[in-house]
Structure formats: structure tokens, C-alpha cells
Amino acid sequence: MTFEQFRKAFYYGRFADMQFKFLAGMDDDPAAEAVAEVLARLGEAFDTGDLTPVRDAVYRAQVAAYVGDDTPEVDDAPFTAMTSSLAETRLALVSAGGVFRIGDDPMGPDGPTQHESLKLIKDFLRSSPTLSLIPKETPDSALTARHPGYDALTPQRDPGTVFPLAVLRELEAENTVRLADQHYAFTGATSQVRLREQVAPQWAQRLLADGVEACLLVAT
């Protein structure tokens, strides 16, 4: 196996790993330097017990790897001003992290596991996303997640990483915010054309009908 084959195998290949798939998009030299840096910091962590430098090395490599993204540019900048305070505005959480209530899988009762979803990435990218409804009082223990674009084992361990509904409830109990009854999540790895042209405008009307007056969105 060449080094190029090795780093590309992290992108839905033999070593498929959403934490490190960024290696596939790098040139050989910077990718080699990133891997060497992570291993060097890991070696130190065996003695220090501190994983922060390992995490920081991965973070720097992620930021460097994704900088050349080719997302299309747009001309207009829609903007709606806030007209009342947060305490008087019904706020809803909308996460792209693929979170849903256990027993309410948007792909049905036999929906794929996180691991299985990676093999379906092309199907996700051709399909329309589904909006999962998550009532305000849903505890973190009743939530799970699946997403073929990042490692959803993280929100399975702690939904607050991408779906901070529990924090929002804390803030509401302190009268800082007013929450809507319903909150929302979807899988952001999806058809961008369908989302832009059809689904997102429909969701906007749905949220208006639900009485939502402002949104906190979380990207993954």
C-alpha cells in the first residue's frame, strides 16, 4: 500500500474513519506531517496522561485540510432582525447532526447503524433529508444519532455535543430564554439541491406553523 492509498482509505475505504477522513483531501507531504505530529504527541501522552496536545494536533490538521472547500457562493444575504428579547421569543433548536429519539428512527425501525450508514453515503447524498421532531422535555438519555458524514458515536455518548437541548432547558429555567415546544434535527449529509430548492423552504413554513420565532442551528 502506498502512502496515498493509505490516507485515501480513511475516506469511506478500508480504514473508513470520519475523524480522520480529512487525510484523503490533503497532499502527501502535509498529510504525512499531520500523521507524524499526531503520533509524536500521542507518544508524549503515554507519559503525561494529557491528551490535549493530541487533540490540538488533529484539530490543526482538520482546519488545514478543509480550507480549500468549493462550496458555491451566493449573491444575496437574507436577514431577519430580532424584534423582541430572547426571554419573549419562542426559540427552537435545529441540528444537522442526525439526532433522533430512540424508537423514532427517520429511516424506520430497521434503520442502519452508524457503522452501516457509512456504506450508504452516496444514497444519503442523493436523497431528501427527513426532519426529526424532538419535544422540549426529551431527556438526553432518550436520544441517539446516526450520520454518514461524521462519527455520530460522539452524540450517542453525549447529545449535547451537537444537540444542546438540555443546556437550553437550563437557561429556560433561569428565565434567560423561552423555548418552543418542538425541536428538530436532520442529517446534514443530503442532497444540497433538494434541500435548497424544496425541503428547506418547506421546513421554514413548518416551523412558522409550529409557532417558532427564532432558531439556534448547529452544524456538524
Partner 1 sequence: MCHESVGLVARALERAGIPTISVFIQAFAHIAGRLRVPRVLVTPHLMGRTVGPVGDRARQREVVEGALRLLEEASVPQTIRDV
Stretch that binds partner 1, among 6-14, 16-24, 27-35, 109-117 (CB under 8 A): 16-24
The smaller minimum CB distance to partner 1, of residues 1 and 74, is found at 74
The smaller minimum CB distance to partner 1, of residues 19 and 48, is found at 19
The smaller minimum CB distance to partner 1, of residues 9 and 155, is found at 155
Least spacing, CB of residue 1 vs partner 1, in Å? 25
Residues 181-210 that bind partner 1 (CB under 8 A): 186, 188-190, 192, 195-196, 200-201, 203-205, 207-208
Q: Which three cell numbers stand for residue 20?
A: 480522520
Dihedral (Cα; 130, 131, 135, 139), 10-degree rounding? 60
Q: Does 111 interact with partner 1 (rule: CB under 8 A)?
A: no
The smaller minimum CB distance to partner 1, of residues 40 and 63, is found at 63
CB 99 within 8 A of CB 143: yes
Size of the site for partner 1 (CB under 8 A): 75
The residue with cell 436532520 is 186
Output the CA–CA distances (angstroms, integers) from residue 186 to 54, 91, 219, in the order listed.
31, 17, 10
Q: What is d(CA 9, CA 23) in angstroms, rounded to the nearest whole number? A: 9
CB 55 within 8 A of CB 154: no
The smaller minimum CB distance to partner 1, of residues 2 and 80, is found at 80
Instruction: Choose, by CB under 8 A, the member of 168, 179, 183, 185 that binds partner 1.
Output: 168
Q: What is d(CA 144, CA 136) in angstroms, rounded to the nearest whole number? A: 15
The smaller minimum CB distance to partner 1, of residues 63 and 102, is found at 63
DSSP state of 123: H
Instruction: Choose, by CB under 8 A, the member of 23, 134, 150, 183 that binds partner 1.
Output: 150
Residue 113 identity: T
Q: Which three cell numbers stand for residue 133?
A: 421532531
Q: Does 28 interact with partner 1 (rule: CB under 8 A)?
A: no
Residues 31-90 that bind partner 1 (CB under 8 A): 55, 58-59, 62-63, 65-67, 69, 71-74, 76-82, 85-86
DSSP state of 34: H
